[in-house]
Chains A and B, each alone.
Chain A
Amino acid sequence: MEEAHAERTKTPRQKMPEQHPMVRARNFDEVPMGYTPDVAQLEAGRCLQCKKPSCMEGCPVGVKIPEFIKLIKEGDFVAAARKIKETNSLPAVCGRVCPQEVQCERSCILSKKGEAVAIGHLERFCADFERDTHQICLPVKAPPNGKKVAVIGSGPAGLTVAGDLILLGYKVTIFEALHKAGGVLVYGIPEFRLPKEIVDSEVKYLESLGVELRLNMVIGAIRTIKELLEVDGYDAVFIGVGAGTPQFLKIPGEDLCGVYSANEYLTRANLLKSYQFPRYDTPIAKGRSVAVVGGGNVAMDSVRTALRLGADNAFIVYRRSIDEMPARREEIHHAQQEGIQFKILTNPEEVIGDERGWAKAIKCIRMELGEPDAKGRRKPVPVKGSWFDLPVDLVVIAIGTNANPLLTGSIPDLKLNESGYIQTDEDGRTSLPRVYAGGDIVTGSATVILAMGAGRKAANAIHRDLSGKDEHPPEACSATM
């Protein structure tokens, strides 16, 4: 036992092969290329199969980590994928985009002594294996129970609710405002981080289970929640519309040409595929020097998109230091490798325009970190007189989003908090009967896995409230697709 343990801990954490930074900086293909089965098994062998697996405590949905890793080690990759899917219906997505370093992997016992098991990479591996070898199977659905549920928004929260309820025998319709389903997964997160094919296959999977998808339906405009419940006969409504309205800095010059919100910039590039303009009709400005303001995943995605669109200089402008950046570590690392220039401890004060109304520079001031605030985060304070101009021709503002009032404003009695997000109880019940909510529209911008976790809770609550039953969706397989 001791020996085996020593053996396991000797194996280093297996790296996932990646496209070379110089190459990938100019294409939109996915950066990490995935494990081979051998490497996955080797990595799986590093897991200690802890009796009290601390890793699971770090996962917001409690993926049965040691169990799925054991199955990988034994070579049963498909069974491993299905084990994950017992608690996480989108492992191909989460394996790629979860901030593992602050969730499951941080809690892995090995991270205390060295390097954590690459749980995310392994999760991605088995989900990809299952999909690529066409072994995704359709679970047995409970017999129809005659009840209908409307899901508004097709982001991770909405997809999870739909997937759970369809298995429990509900008729489920997803209403999506955009012309493509997936929420941030399709309009925000770029192809090089999350290939759209994966999201499409998840959506198709739901459709094959019988979920009805109605695109181009802006709820609040074409249909109100009231109408869904009272006229269209839905027994319950789940609101998963995301946060969705961009924040600006409110500094002079922000309305100049060449200043984008990250939402706009990424929607053009991803959803409307403007990186393939003019083959696709939607244009996007290609800056030579692009500054992205912010330090989260959205900022990293924007700046790396700018680079791939041909920028010579792509900057991150962030008022704190790299340690304080909320982005996933892997993305910061990838961005650094690709040659993104980090202007940290820098605060933009004005966008300066040229005579045609285009951005030509950002007036910035240097910052230093002062005393820690109540949360222990050191507050940046400006260094007196340290202004400088950063010459750019494109600026992307990626400092966060607010709640979009389009839908919530159309339901007078729905309780919102002071920032406009929907108030719910633990299980996603809103202040209105038969109306549930979850994801970014409840929490503010968060993560894919938290949105999915909220979706699962709400689905359980809907089932309990409508059927009086406390049971989870069936998991057994009937046939392969």
Chain B
Amino acid sequence: MNRVVERTELVPNVHKMVIEAPLLAQKVKPGQFMIIMADEKGERIPISIGDWDQKAGTVTIFFLEAGVSTMKLAQKKAGDNLHAVVGPLGHPAKIRKYGTVLLGGGCYGIGGITSIAKAMKAAGNKVIVIIEARSKYLLYNQEPLRLIADEYIETTSDGSSGIRGKVQDVVQFITNQEKVDLAYFIGCTFMMMNCSNATKGKHLRTLVSLNALMLDGTGMCGVCRVNVGGQTKFACVDGPEFDGHQIDWLQVFQRKSMYLQEEMLAYQYHTCRALTAQKKEERD
């Protein structure tokens, strides 16, 4: 059991959660993830460890409310318990001095990219951070990123803040302008694929933090298998970081869609139950 220290909805549907996990906070390195179970009946879901505080003995995650499991997390309050927190899992990001590093974050990845940006900066790189959202009101975590980055760029699809467009568009632009030595993307699968495609023609080394379906996170089940450069890899133990140009993205999308129907059913089941409980409370 791990105690929730804080949970806040930063922008609609994106939450930040601080969790008591002293051993984990001591061990985690940028780019690693953990498996969380909200309650006893819950799924084991993988979430990147966004930040941590060794002194306080806490780790911080950023998550998008996407379905039942993340909904359950979003309902937790400070003081509540999580059934299971397991980590740190996966290989840490390969932090070293590359020269200029371009980091792109979208969705939960805006939070997820922060620790990597910090570490890349500390390793002596010039750090360019680009984040994206549909609209201004969906951007978060800007201040920490602005402070870390040498160059900080916001994009919004509707142009309400920063550049109108997406990370992939800015990537195109920047890589035409200056020499970049490494690109690193974290966010939804679609964004990571598009950004990888944007750097492909430029022979720019590109890493993504792949979010395959997972179960145990320790190499025991094989659900997270992905095809990278023609070889089957397990995202949880061989990754989560992979070369974005080598990934069979179509397969990633297909495998991730495996439970779409069940996910919908589960969501309805839980919202129905929540509504019934609410009605009952009102009646009583």
A residues sitting closer than 8 Å to B (CB atoms) are 177-179, 215-218, 221-223, 244-246, 248, 254-258, 260-261, 263-264, 267-268, 272-273, 277-283, 285, 356-357, 404-406
Contact = CB atoms under 8 A, between A and B. Distances in A.
Interface string B77-95: 0000001111111000000
B86 A281 contact: no
B215 interface: yes
Interface string B85-120: 111110000000000000000000000000000000
B87 A221 contact: yes
B142 to A, nearest CB: 32
Nearest to B252: A255
Given A216-B86, A278-B270, A283 B218 contact: no
A107 B221 CA distance: 37
B219 A255 contact: no
A264 B43 contact: no
A221 B88 contact: yes
B85 A216 contact: yes
A245 B86 contact: no
Contact of A245 (B83, B84, B219, B227): B219
B23 A264 contact: no
B232 interface: yes
A248 to B, nearest CB: 7
B55 interface: no
A177 B236 CA distance: 14
Contacts of B216: 177-178, 267
A218 B44 CA distance: 15
Given A255-B232, A278-B265, A263 B220 contact: yes
A267 B214 CA distance: 12
Given A179-B84, A272-B43, A218 B266 contact: no
A246 B221 contact: yes
B258 A257 contact: yes
B8 to A, nearest CB: 24
Given A255-B255, A356-B254, A281 B68 contact: yes
Contacts, number: 114
A268 B214 CA distance: 11
A143 B5 CA distance: 40
B41 A222 contact: no
B181 interface: no
9 contacts: A177-B218, A179-B83, A179-B86, A216-B84, A255-B227, A280-B41, A283-B266, A285-B258, A404-B220
B251 interface: yes
A281 B227 contact: no
A425 to B, nearest CB: 27
A177 B27 CA distance: 16
Given A267-B216, A357-B250, A357-B257, 5 more contacts: A179-B83, A246-B221, A248-B222, A248-B232, A278-B269
A268 B215 CA distance: 8
Contacts of A272: 43-44, 215
Contacts of A222: 23-24, 27, 87-88
A240 to B, nearest CB: 15
B221 A263 contact: yes
A468 B108 CA distance: 56
A227 to B, nearest CB: 10
B257 A257 contact: yes
A234 B69 CA distance: 37
B204 to A, nearest CB: 27
Contacts of A217: 86
B215 A257 contact: no
Nearest to A285: B258
Interface in B41-72: 41-44, 68-69, 72
Interface in B244-261: 250-251, 254-255, 257-259
Contacts of B263: 283
Most buried by A among B24, B218, B220: B220
B188 interface: no
B284 interface: no
A313 B127 CA distance: 57
B235 interface: no
A28 B212 CA distance: 30
A279 B69 CA distance: 13
Contacts of B88: 221-222
Contacts of B44: 179, 272, 282
A1 B25 CA distance: 72
B37 interface: yes
Given A179-B44, A222-B24, A278-B269, A264 B89 contact: no
